[in-house]
Amino acid sequence: MQSTFPMHISLIMLLWLAAGCASDIPPSGGPANTSQLQVAASDPAPSSVNVSTSTIRLTFNHDITSRQLLNALIFSPSIGEYDMTTNGKSAELRLDSPLAPNQTYSININKTLRDNQGRTFPAPFTMAFSTGTVIDNCTISGKVINNDFSPATNALILAFAEHPKTADTENLVTRKPDYVIQAETSGAFSFKHIAAGSYRIIAVNDRNNDLRYTAGSEEIGLSSTAIIQAGSVDLLFRLSGIFKSTQPAAVNPAAASSDTGSISGRCFASGQYLVVEASSQTASYSTTASRDKKGIFHYSFAELPPGSYAVSAYISSSSKKTNPKQQWNSGSINPFQPAQPFGYYPEKVTVRARWTTDHIDIHIKNAL
């Protein structure tokens, strides 16, 4: 009878070799961590009061560097100079000067912050703490859009507390803002921890990251009211200032030809005179809306070439009927003059030949 012992030995040797080869392959380590960047903890904690510290600590869920965080971190109001060190997920800020007494501070981190793998915040991060017994909780909210009415995804919004004695002489170009936040991807913004009072507010496309407006190289948006009270909502800012727009052409309200289409609608706004604009990538048209006895404005573009149009309207500050060729006044920062109140239809309007697109209604809010 033939012995099976050598066969048993061979099988054992094969299994041992297979195990040895498998052990040389490094473990996979599990799936990659694709979670978005977050602040996992902070010291002081959010909404803390009676804070007395010379050190602020932030902990993230992913590794970051000092340079990345320094370029994205904003304190409102300023905490002065500080030294920063990071170690993996942790950051420590050592303040050079004591925090002011009875003051609410907001920590804002722009959504431009990236960790070592390129992950970002889903939205700007903000939290607040107070060195006093209460924390400021007044708010101001709104939206910032670009000159072409698209969301201003990277706009900074700067709020300057109003000082009645110096309001007429202050230059907001050189003055340091009291509060700074970044708009969300949609262009929406909200100051959540500001003191009660009144403010001048501007929006800026801060291209050089110096937290202020640089004339001649950055777009700026001004509010339609000079002074904004804490608690205000639905503010709207349109960035302009360095782009040259084409002069709008007045539209003849004659009957539409076979090669053109039309847009019509209503505008809900205060004021006596209102101009409506329809702009495509190649041309811009404008017309004066008529106001009925109920105070509702009606407009119509009777002859428009087929295409996609952004439709907007603004209230004229003139006491006389406005020439529709006159462009919207975006205001002035120095001396400070508010922009003309305006509104826009939230979607592009498609014009087709021999077709009327109606009910394109526009609401102009906060027109004071």
Domains of the chain are 39-238 (2.60.40.1220), 249-363 (2.60.40.1120)
Tell me the pLDDT band of 167, cut-offs 50, 70 and 90: low
Determine the pLDDT at residue 211.
75
Instruction: Tell me the per-residue pLDDT of 196-248, one tens digit each, with 9 for 90 and over.
Output: 999 999 999 988 877 778 888 899 999 999 999 999 999 999 998 654 444 56
The gap from C-alpha 41 to its chain's centroid, in whole angstroms, comes to 25
Tell me the pLDDT band of 168, cut-offs 50, 70 and 90: low
- Cβ contacts of 83 within 8 Å, gap of 6 or more: 93, 94, 96
Instruction: Tell me the per-residue pLDDT of 115-151, one tens digit each, with 9 for 90 and over.
Output: 989 999 888 999 999 999 999 999 999 999 999 999 9
pTM here? Answer: 0.82
CA distance 178 to 170: 14
Contact 352, 256 (CB under 8 A): no
The gap from C-alpha 110 to its chain's centroid, in whole angstroms, comes to 10
Tell me the C-alpha to C-alpha distance, in Å, between residue 283 and each of 14, 221, 247, 254, 280: 78, 23, 9, 19, 5
Tell me the C-alpha to C-alpha distance, in Å, between residue 203 and each of 123, 159, 215, 235: 18, 9, 13, 11
Q: Would you call 301 helix, strand, or coil by DSSP?
A: strand
Q: Say if residue 256's pLDDT is above 70.
A: no
Tell me the pLDDT band of 166, cut-offs 50, 70 and 90: low
CB atoms within 10 A of CB 2: 6
- Average pLDDT of the chain? 85
Q: Token pair 């977050």 is at which residue? A: 38
Contact 247, 283 (CB under 8 A): no
Give ∠ CA 226-265-356 in degrees, rounded to 5.
Answer: 145
Residue 157 pairs in a beta bridge with: 181, 203
